[in-house]
Chains A and B, each alone.
Chain A
Amino acid sequence: MKKKVLFISFVPGLDKHGKVQRALAPFYLKNYLRTNKELADHFEIVIRVFDSFRNDEVLLREIRNINPVFIGISSFFWTVGKALSVSRKLRMVMPEAKLAVGGPEMNEKLFRDNEWLDFGIRGEGEKILEDVLTRICRNESTEGVGGLFQRIGGEVHINKEDNVLVDLSVIPPISELDEFADAIRKSPEGKFPLEISRGCTYKCAFCTWNTHGVRYNPVNVFEKNVEFLMSSLPVLHETVVEFNDSYLDIEPGRLMPYLDVLEKHKRKDVVFKGYFLFRRFDEELVRRLRAAQFKYLIFGLQAIDRTVLEKLNRKWFRIESIENVLKLKHEFDLSADMIYGLPGDNYDNFTDSMIKVYDMGFDRVNAFRLRILPGTAMAEDGTGIVYDEKPPHMVFSTESFPFNEIKRASMFSFNFSVLTGLLKRSDFEIIQNEFGISLKNICNDIHEQFPDWKKNIKKIGEGDNDSFVDPEQAGILEKYIRKNSSSEGRYDMAGDLLRIRCAEKQLETQRLRVLNRYPGSVLSSMEEIENKQVFLPGYKRVESAYEPSGFDVKCDCERASGKNAYILFNDMKNERIDYIKPNHPEAVEVLLGLLLKPVFKEELTECMLKSVNGLNEKQVDAFLRMLCERNAICFKKD
């Protein structure tokens, strides 16, 4: 009977969301090891992906029942705590089994500190594990295996030799591994990240991707994986598939055949997302990206200040090089990543950079707190850097960036993310022109002046880059403007803008939810309304109202005044708001009540006809048509 080798991965929240694609390491390892006949004859490789919230004792029981002779656990900074606690207990309950922990978190210190581990495998594990398991099945000593940390007779042996697969063509398509195909098909998203290459040519001080240069997967293997991916993805309105590569266009010429594959197998509802450099603007690359249905291009800028870039070993980076790319913003979604807490940087410099990058025209600028990851140049020589050696390895201060400024930078990033995630550039221009207050001003201190600001903003996930904003926050923005502006004016206008955009965001979220539920439908068509396949937008709290007899529309941009209710139209194309005056404000009340929940057109019509004298069905129909077609937002002032 074959002995069992168990590979384990942990995913936080797996039992709830089933996103098995976040734990691919065991599949990749098995996929490679199955090519070794000697190992395949000797071992049965078992894979388990566990929810890291599950109780350790429940997991131990399951592992004990499998009874493996070798247990390998992959670890990232979000799962290493679980990997260590489970492995520590495994040592007690299965003292005879060999225990290995691998992944980016493994480093010499971690291995030395956790004395129950037999092996530590850092980075890519295929080759190292092949060597270790081969020695074990031949009853040979594992001493001397390259890239392996191990305990021999209680003594720690650290081997830092390179031991990775240089030629990725020896790895079969992951999609042909039955367990993988099953797991992906059973997962709700049916999705996994694609990978064209491994490694990176740049040696950024905060990263470990650069250890072994860039190696490419064979195009035919990539194609098989793409084919499988396209067949496993459920049909939705839009699915975004991300690439794992450090930068996809390190060598633009080498990218082309992979783009051809994507174009060949493209599906209308599947778009792609990945990191790009665009060190040189390349029309041909743009054309091919478009054809391959790339939609989201991310630029890992990290910093733009020359001194800071030098400290990051990124002095090769020139912000000017991507200026041309920003011309593409009407056809791609362009975002930039920045880091705060970097050595050589400080609060003022960081916030200036954020604003500058935003002003360049990126759709979004995301900021992340610096993490000093094990094995990076910064971890090896972090002079003056105070950081947490424990995951998630956050920086706490540097010589130029004290903790208090990191805290402020975090709040700045949070405010920046919330505001730019909702308001449009033109909105900031209005605020700046009308009240002399800039985006930077607001991000700097709105949370200090109004501590309630954060109260109704719910962060989504770790970091500062996504959030749910309660429209009530608009009142705080109004107060902020009132307090800080020296000019006279309609301060509530800023609040109105935020309210509108909050509602708009919810509308968009709702729209996508409906479209994903009924793929292929067009939300704004009257036909869909008649077919009861459309939910009208629901707002948590709506202070706005539509004009029921809105067929008499004049988009004259004239702002309604006084206590009148008015209608606002999102002119998305021109990023501005249009206003009209209402004729039946009482119908607005009815509508508002109904809009608190998703509601079908028939219910709306019936309710309005009952409640508002003087309306007929035709008018209501026309109004609803307008509502959908114009993406209008209701608004009413008390």
Chain B
Amino acid sequence: MRFVSKRTERDTVAEKSIKRKVVFCKVYPYFQDEFKAHSEMFMTYAFDYLIAFAETRESIRDNYEFSILPVEKNILDEDLIYEVSDENPYMVGFSCSLLNTERCMNIARQIKLGMPEVRIVAGGAETFAAKRFLEKYPFVDFAVMGEGEAAFAELLEVLYEEGDTRGIEGLAFRDGEEIVLTGKRNPIEKLDDIPQVITSERVASLSGIVPYETGRGCSNGCAYCLWSPYPKRYFSMDRIKRELDVLMSNERIGKIWFINSEFDDDRNRSKEILRYVRDRRKHDIRLAAYLNFDSIDEEMLELVGELFFWLPIGLQTTDTDTLKSLGRGWFDLAKFEKTFDLIMENIPGSIINIDLMYGLPGENYESFIKTLLWCIRKRTPEINFFRLAVYPQTVLERKSNKYGFVYDKEPPYLVYASDTFSYDDMLKIEQAIINYLVLMSLYGPEGLERIHDNCDMKELLGRLQECSANYAGNFEHTMESNIKNINNNELRKPVMEFIRRRMKDEKAAGELERFIRT
């Protein structure tokens, strides 16, 4: 398959007289209900950034036009292909994240079958491993690696001039049977070079929770993440304030989630932003962000307490060796614990949410339970559990043999076993998580702490499912370890009875009743 189709002179003249159409397909996963929020969060502005940056160049403005087609669950792929064809595109672009890749590529394949002359370009987290990506999807012509704005703009220019795409850094493409990688591109240094995409027109259709980034990159160096190779950069404060004004002027936007890896890695900047929101908001707009706990001081605590609706904390694990394996050796648990206590004392508990990962290098059932018990002792209001995924091009992927990982080479790249845990151990961990979620649903964090103090919580987490023959019939499994619609009314009796038999003193058991939520 040629990467650029053969064109006649007449075609070239015809093409030059009208603008070439680039169509971006904003593809939601097939099973959108489960993942819609996730997808929305990470795809909201991807194409806007690409278009805005490309259109800073006159040659692109003069010769290309762009459109974005939203591909919802209810649109049949077959109809979408026709819709794309109606646009008579020169190029079709996809942003492939973990969950939408399958659908993106189903659509791309069919576009190529029906319209072989159309160039297919892909970007997103999946194309970090660009060579593998092009090998796997022979109908994709170009893969843009990493942050795509500059490489994509250059690609359009070079294609128009019929120049050599080898000169474009951060690109993979085909030359006959060969796949060419052009080499690493440094990310855009000054983020303000990308024109503002948060405009009144753009956000008019948004509502509810809206993602927003004040900077890019991360310095944490976590082995499982693709964010780390990029240095930290920030949009200018003026621009951020302008954009926040736009977001805050839309009353239908109730919440803004700062999707930076760590919102407060520059303490002064982050506080300035929060103060700005506090002072300028006209309606009760609320915020969420991952914070670096090292930098939390009194003022930050106040701001967070006043403004945040959600405070996620990426703890992942408390096991020191595992943290080192994850490239998070810098994480100081003792210091974190102090800050966590401070937060718990000063901020309404319900907004705090800890992220824990399981299936980590060197981890086993015991070490996972240890982390979980730490969270229970701390009365953590909510925990989000994630099974480890070995993403392409991460440090973890390079070291996967070292840890003996058995993992899926297809998205979402979940791990199933390693040198230190079997798949059955993994299921045991997930059963413990389910049991924890049931207990949380029934007793809340305070009740759970009480149970922890009065009986063997570890045993309870491992065996709670034995409390009733129809235990699993009282909730719905959604994903790996996630459950929903827990039927507290049906579970309260058998669970209470199961716990009561294990509690050290009868009085404590009686007191536990008052924590029960129905």
Binding site for B on A (CB under 8 A): 53-55, 57-58, 61, 64, 81, 85, 88-89, 92-94, 369, 386-388, 390, 394, 396-397, 403-404, 406-407, 410-411, 459, 462
Contacts and interface: CB of A to CB of B under 8 A. Distances in A.
Interface stretch (B105-113, B191-199, B233-241): B105-113
A316 to B, nearest CB: 31
A55 B85 contact: no
A387 B423 CA distance: 39
B474 to A, nearest CB: 15
A404 B82 CA distance: 9
Given A92-B408, A387-B113, A390-B106, A407 B479 contact: no
A379 to B, nearest CB: 15
A89 B387 CA distance: 15
Given A93-B416, A396-B114, A55 B478 contact: yes
A462 B79 CA distance: 10
B113 A410 contact: no
A459 B82 CA distance: 15
Interface range on chain B (Cβ under 8 Å from partner):
20 to 34
Given A81-B102, A92-B407, 12 more contacts: A55-B479, A57-B414, A61-B430, A92-B416, A93-B417, A388-B109, A388-B110, A388-B113, A403-B85, A404-B85, A411-B82, A459-B79
B480 A462 contact: no
B477 interface: yes
Interface string B93-126: 0000000001000100110011100000000000
A55 B477 contact: yes
B201 interface: no
Given A64-B423, A410-B82, A462-B78, A57 B479 contact: yes
Contacts of A406: 114
Given A89-B416, A388-B113, A407 B480 contact: no
18 contacts: A53-B31, A55-B478, A55-B480, A58-B477, A58-B478, A58-B479, A61-B477, A92-B417, A92-B423, A93-B416, A93-B423, A388-B110, A403-B85, A403-B114, A403-B115, A406-B114, A410-B82, A459-B76
B479 A394 contact: no
Contact of A407 (B82, B109, B408): B82
Nearest to B424: A64
Interface string B44-88: 000000000000000000000000000000001011001001000
Contacts of B423: 64, 92-94
B78 A89 contact: no
Interface in B241-277: none
A465 to B, nearest CB: 13
A394 B78 contact: yes
A369 B79 CA distance: 12
B408 A89 contact: yes
B115 A61 contact: no
A279 B410 CA distance: 51
Contact of B406 (A55, A92, A397, A459): A92
Interface string B461-499: 000000000000000011110000000000000000000
A-B pairs, top 10 by smallest CB distance, nearest first, are A396-B113, A403-B114, A58-B477, A93-B423, A57-B480, A396-B114, A92-B416, A407-B82, A55-B479, A92-B406
A142 to B, nearest CB: 26
Interface in B393-430: 406-408, 410, 414, 416-417, 423-424, 427, 430
A96 to B, nearest CB: 12
Nearest to A391: B106
Contacts of B478: 55, 58
B109 A390 contact: yes
A195 B72 CA distance: 38
Contacts of A411: 82
Contacts of A459: 76, 79
A88 B430 CA distance: 21
A24 B477 CA distance: 25
A55 B114 CA distance: 32
Instruction: Among B78, B85, B106, find the residue whose CB has the most chain A CB atoms closer than 10 A.
Output: B78
B110 A396 contact: yes
